[in-house]
Amino acid sequence: MKDNNRFRLDTWGAITLAVLGLYLLFMVYPLGNLIKMAFYGDNGFTLDNFVKFFSKQYYSSTLGNSFKVSLAATITSLLVGVPMAYFFAMYRIRGKGLLRILIIISSMSAPFVGAYAWILLLGRNGVVTNFLQNLLGISVPDIYGFNGMLLVFTTQLFSLIFLYVAGALSKVDNSLLEASENMGCVGVRRFFTVVLPLITPTVLAGALLVFIRALSDFGTPMLIGEGYRTFPVILYTEFVGEVSQNKGFASAIAVIAIIITTVVFYAQNFVSKRKSFSMNSLHPIEPKPLRGVKGILVYVFCYVVVGIAILPQVYVLYTSFKKTSGTIYVDGYSLDSYINMFTRLGSSIQNTLIIPVVALVAVVLLAVLIAYLSVRRRNALTSTVDVLSMVPYIIPGTVVGIALVTSFNHKPLAFTGTMFIMAMALVIRRLPYTIRSSVAILQQIPITIEEAALSLGSPKMKTFFQITVPMMSSGIISGAILSWVTMISELSTAMILYTGRTQTLTVAIYTQIIRGNYGIAAAMASVLTVITVISLLVFNRFSKNGEITM
């Protein structure tokens, strides 16, 4: 081994080139293609698509809408998620373990299922709406549009903030809190002057993730948005539009979406960098018992929030056992929904298992290799791979879908409509998260362990597979299970890419909801939830500290 930080065409050099090639083919080329379509019409270079977007209120308003609802959702998620994580870290709360699992489950479910459940509960003909209306004469505020989206996003995405902040708080040393207490600073004041500044970078990272998730979510605004059109909705309707397909225009919208998320990403990065600390706690914060009115308030807050967050899942599960007649629920219970489900599923359960499994193998392999390259072999080429691999983090799933579908629809690369392209989309979208967690694991492993193996005569690749990979394995497995869970509940890319043969469970659920087959949709969603819960239980077995990296 000469200088590790200079490119050499050894095994690792070849791997670098191969990974780079994959990114060029499956990400740079499709995105480049997308940008080309946005700027080139039949008569060469044109800005017509952009002019059309900004000159018509119908389109340009979606920009403001998306921004408003995403920003609002980010703020409400912070307002719920940060205090929740803080209470969990500071106080002994009964049932904490259960609450944690419920929060994770709610965060892992597909948002559009939440949207659909909230319609059943609070919609025009919702159970709660009717109940309040008939018995108490109270009319519930309109759930459709901005309010409903905010509700769905908050109840689902606060969990991301919660998990991020809980992770950061576990690294705050108790002595910092004690020192602050010693100097007479406690309670809310201590939270704002000591705790919050320490976890600011994490809070910002979580906020970015929430903002981007909300901005690029497609299912929620489709179901509950109604007149409140957001970006991904017009992106989708323009792209697959039954009346007129305008790929150039859809591409232009996609380009605008990428620009917005990129700006937000860099703004977040800029702020985070200036406020980051490295912490490692010897003595984690010791949770204290709760007493008095304060205690009651904390309990009420935690249980009510988690209750609301998990309510959609529970209600969907409940309705899946209700008797249906056609598309309407009637009194009584039955398993009909499950029985009918199988006639509508086609191969979607298989697809939901096979596509993510294939994607998962590729994600894990690539993530481990890329993480190794970027930690142990820093050079210009591996840095390029590193940057490229992070790009999909800020690109909405719908955009990835459109880019792939338009770039691989002709020979020699006719992948559109195949399982391969669906798996590829999942790989591209999930890699940034898995790479990040693998990098974190690898940085914990001292390089001397590898050097010891080399000095004992073990060749480089053998060292990697016999020493490095086994040491990373528990982290890799728990990361893989999380990837798996997000993959099976993915909708926005699948909606663009699927065909009859490659329909997934989420697509099937969505289709059934749109058609009004609520019973079947509920049964399918319950199946998805069960798969998710089982996966998370497996995750808990493999994860050392139950820490979740999204």
Partner 1 sequence: MSQITIKNAVKRYGSTTVISGLSLDIRDGELFTLLGPSGCGKTTLLRMIAGFNSIEGGDFYFNGERINDKEPNKRNIGMVFQNYAIFPHLTVRENVAFGLKNRKLDRATIARETDRFLDMMQIRQYADRLPENLSGGQQQRVALARALVIRPDVLLMDEPLSNLDAKLRLEMRQAIRDIQKEVGITTVYVTHDQEEAMSISDTIAVMRDGAIQHLGTPRDLYQRPGNLFVATFIGRTNILPGELRGGALVLPSGYAVEAPDWQDIPDQKVQVSVRPEEFVIGPAGAAGIPGTVVDSVYLGLNTHYIVDIGLEQKAELIRESTIDDEVVPGSQISLTVKREKINLFDQQGEHNLLRG
Using CB under 8 A, which of the segments 189-197, 309-317, 463-471, 499-507 binds partner 1? 463-471
Which one-letter DSSP state was computed for residue 135? I
458-470 per-residue burial string, b: 16 or more CB within 10 A, e: under 16: eeeeebbeebbee
Least distance to partner 1, CB of residue 475, Å: 13
Contact 160, 213 (CB under 8 A): yes
CA distances for 259 relative to 27, 265, 301, angstroms: 16, 10, 38
263 is a contact residue toward partner 1 (CB under 8 A): no
Give bridge partners of residue 284 from the DSSP assignment: 173
State the first-to-last Cα distance of the chain, in angstroms, to the nearest integer: 35
Per the structure block, which two tokens stand in for 8? 């050499």
Nearest residue (CB) to partner 1, 100 versus 376:
376
Nearer to partner 1 (CB atom), residue 28 or residue 452: 452
Counting every residue, how long is the chain? 550
Ordered alpha helix ranges (H), 170-285: 174-182, 187-190, 196-216, 219-220, 231-240, 247-274
> Token pair for residue 24?
């060029």
Q: Which of residues 2-31 bind partner 1 (CB under 8 A)?
A: 2-3
Task: Identify which of residues 3 and 331 has a Cβ nearer to partner 1 in the complex.
Answer: 3
Longest dimension (CA), the chain: 81
Contact flag: residue 533 with partner 1 (CB under 8 A): no
- What does the alpha-carbon distance between residue 429 and residue 426 come to, in Å, rounded to a whole number? 5
Among 80, 199, 467, 550, binds partner 1 (CB under 8 A): 467
Q: Per-residue DSSP letters for 126-188?
A: -HHHHHIIIII-PPPPP-SSHHHHHHHHHHHHHHHHHHHHHHHHTTSBHHHHHHHHHTT--HH
Total residues binding partner 1 (CB under 8 A) = 20
- Convert residues 64-83 into a mask of x (bound to partner 1 by CB under 8 A) and - (unbound): --------------------
Measured from the CB atom, the residue of 24 and 469 that comes closer to partner 1 is: 469
Residues linked to residue 45 through DSSP beta bridges, in sequence order? 40
Q: Minimum CB separation from partner 1 for residue 543, in Å?
A: 17
Q: Which is nearer to partner 1, 135 or 282 (CB)?
A: 282
Q: Which residue's CB is nearer to partner 1, number 25 or number 477?
A: 477
> Which CB atom, from 181 or from 451, has the smaller least distance to partner 1?
451
Give which of 361, 316, 352, 309 is closest to 163, Cα–Cα.
Answer: 309
Given the rule CB under 8 A, which of 272-280, 335-343, 390-398, 462-470 is the region that contacts partner 1? 462-470
Tell the smallest beta-carbon distance from residue 524 to partner 1 (Å): 41
CB of 470 to partner 1, least distance (A): 5
Q: Judged by CB under 8 A, which stretch of 28-36, 333-341, 436-444, 466-474 contacts partner 1?
A: 466-474
| 321 alpha carbon, distance to own chain's centre | 29
By CB under 8 A, what part of segment 302-361 binds partner 1?
none
Q: Does 471 bind partner 1 (CB under 8 A)?
A: yes
Assess 378 for contact with partner 1 (CB under 8 A): no
Backbone torsion region of residue 49, taken as left when φ is above 0, otherwise alpha when ψ lies between -120 and 50, otherwise beta: alpha
Question: Could you say whether residue 470 binds partner 1 (CB under 8 A)?
Answer: yes
- Binding region for partner 1 (CB under 8 A) out of 94-102, 384-392, 417-425, 464-472: 464-472
Q: CB count, 10 Å around CB of 450? A: 20
Q: Which is nearer to partner 1, 15 or 513 (CB)?
A: 15
DSSP designation for 171: T
Single-letter amino acid, residue 162: F
The residue among 281 and 458 lying less far from partner 1, judged by its C-beta, is 458
Percentage helix, strand, coil, to 5, in the chain? 75, 5, 20
Interaction of residue 1 with partner 1, rule CB under 8 A: yes
- Comparing CB distances to partner 1, the nearer of 407 and 463 is 463
Residue among 354 and 454 whose Cβ is closer to partner 1: 454
DSSP letter at 400 equals H
The least CB distance from residue 468 to partner 1, in Å, is: 10
x-or-dash pattern for partner 1, window 431-460, by CB under 8 A? ---------------x-xx-xxxxxxxxxx
* CB 191 to partner 1: min, Å: 37
Helix (H, G, I), strand (E, B) or coil at 384: helix
Closest CB 440 distance from partner 1, rounded Å:
17
Taking each helix axis from N to C end, the angle separating 292-320 and 518-542, rounded to the nearest 10 degrees, works out to: 130
Would you tell me which residues interact with partner 1 (CB under 8 A)? 1-3, 446, 448-449, 451-460, 462, 467, 470-471
